[in-house]
């Protein structure tokens, strides 16, 4: 066993995080089944599924999210002309909205009915449920993105199979996930907010991602980062520990984590880029 971690976001239930010795992947146990996982997302503070938020912290979150969106678009489209895109875990459609604005034909996968309802008001994209991934036709997309989604997926091998199947030849895949080898993860340990059990079923580092995709025939090409995530994750981690001035301390810890990542390459959120 690697760690005991509580669901500090919502239920306070305790979960174990185990390590796969062959690939370095960490995984949450026990894993809630499909019937019960929904209750762990039922909170007004789950920002990724909210259209409007009030209060200082949510406003800061939204401001940083806009900066991150510009970074994501640039990262995803660098060297590409417009084409057809699938955003898996599209939430309320923020990334799709930006991609449609620059001429991409977009599709989205989103499990939340509430998030889909908001997205349908904002974007032209066709939206699907996760169980519909298997019925989408082969070689449909020039670009597939998963922004903080793979950690929520129950069957990783099936997901990787569909990612390969759905990409066109020379298509690009971007996967952004928290990195448990980052300096902020090592500092906060069981209080690291990005463990986020049991919503996060798997926990990744560079080694585990590359090994999981090794047999897929998707070619690993590069890594990138979402450096703003370190500040927000560190803020939440300080808050979970009950520290005073969590925003100030979180910003300082996020800054230190990013400074260390410049030499180690272990950013709080890593983006892995593959090509078919």
| The pLDDT of residue 48 is above 60 | no
* Residues whose CB is less than 8 angstroms from the CB of residue 262 and which lie 6 or more positions away in sequence, other chains included: none
The pLDDT value given to residue 54: 65
State the CATH number of the domain containing residue 164: 3.40.50.150
Mean pLDDT of 85-95: 96
Mean residue pLDDT across the chain: 93
Q: Are 125 and 108 spatial neighbours (Cβ–Cβ below 8 Å)?
A: yes
User: Residue 52's pLDDT band (boundaries 50, 70, 90)?
Assistant: low
The pLDDT value given to residue 22: 87
Mean pLDDT of 128-156: 96
Question: How confident is the model over 209-233, as pLDDT tens digits?
Answer: 999 998 888 999 999 999 999 999 9
The pLDDT value given to residue 65: 81
Mean pLDDT of 39-63: 68
User: Residue 51's pLDDT band (boundaries 50, 70, 90)?
Assistant: low
Pairing mode, strands 219-225 and 269-275: antiparallel
- Using only the alpha carbons of the chain, give its radius of gyration: 18
Domain that holds residue 59: 3-275
The pLDDT value given to residue 46: 58
Structural domain count of the chain? 1
Q: 75 is written with which tokens?
A: 């990262």
The pLDDT value given to residue 130: 94
Backbone dihedral angles phi then psi of residue 94, each to the nearest 5 degrees: -60, -50
Q: 159 is written with which tokens?
A: 């997901």
The pLDDT value given to residue 66: 87
pTM score, two decimals? 0.93
Question: How confident is the model over 228-247, as pLDDT tens digits?
Answer: 999 999 999 999 999 999 99
The pLDDT value given to residue 50: 54
Cα separation values, 264 from 19, 95, 144, Å: 22, 29, 28
Question: How confident is the model over 168-182, as pLDDT tens digits?
Answer: 999 999 999 999 999
Q: Which residue would you say has higher pLDDT here, 43 or 90?
A: 90
What is the crossing angle of helices 229-240 and 246-264, to 10°? 130
Gap between the Cα atoms of 31 and 29, Å rounded: 5
Q: Are 266 and 183 spatial neighbours (Cβ–Cβ below 8 Å)?
A: yes
């Amino acid at each position: 066993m690697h760690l005991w971690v509580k669901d500090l976001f919502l239920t306070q239930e305790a979960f174990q995080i185990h390590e796969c010795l062959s690939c370095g992947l960490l995984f949450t146990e026990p894993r809630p089944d499909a019937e019960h996982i929904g209750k762990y997302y039922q909170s007004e503070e789950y920002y990724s599924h909210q259209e409007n938020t009030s209060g200082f912290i949510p406003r800061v979150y939204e401001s940083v999210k806009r900066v991150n969106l510009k970074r994501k678009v640039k990262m995803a489209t660098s060297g590409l002309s417009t084409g057809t895109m699938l955003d898996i875990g599209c939430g309320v459609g923020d990334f799709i909205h930006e991609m449609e604005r620059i001429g991409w034909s977009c599709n989205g996968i989103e499990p939340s009915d509430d998030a889909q309802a908001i997205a349908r008001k904002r974007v032209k994209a066709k939206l699907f449920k996760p169980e519909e991934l298997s019925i989408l036709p082969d070689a449909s997309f020039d670009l597939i993105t998963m922004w903080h989604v793979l950690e929520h997926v129950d069957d990783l091998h099936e997901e990787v199979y569909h990612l390969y199947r759905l990409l066109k030849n020379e298509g690009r895949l971007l996967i952004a996930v928290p990195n448990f080898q980052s300096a902020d993860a090592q500092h906060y340990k069981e209080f690291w907010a990005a463990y986020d059990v049991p919503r996060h079923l798997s926990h990744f580092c560079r080694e585990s991602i590359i090994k999981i995709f090794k047999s897929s025939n998707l070619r690993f090409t590069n890594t990138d980062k979402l450096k703003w995530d370190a500040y927000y994750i560190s803020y939440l981690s300080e808050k979970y520990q009950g520290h005073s001035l969590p925003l100030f301390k979180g910003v300082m810890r996020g800054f230190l984590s990013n400074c260390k990542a410049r030499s180690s390459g272990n950013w709080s959120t890593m983006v892995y880029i593959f090509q078919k």
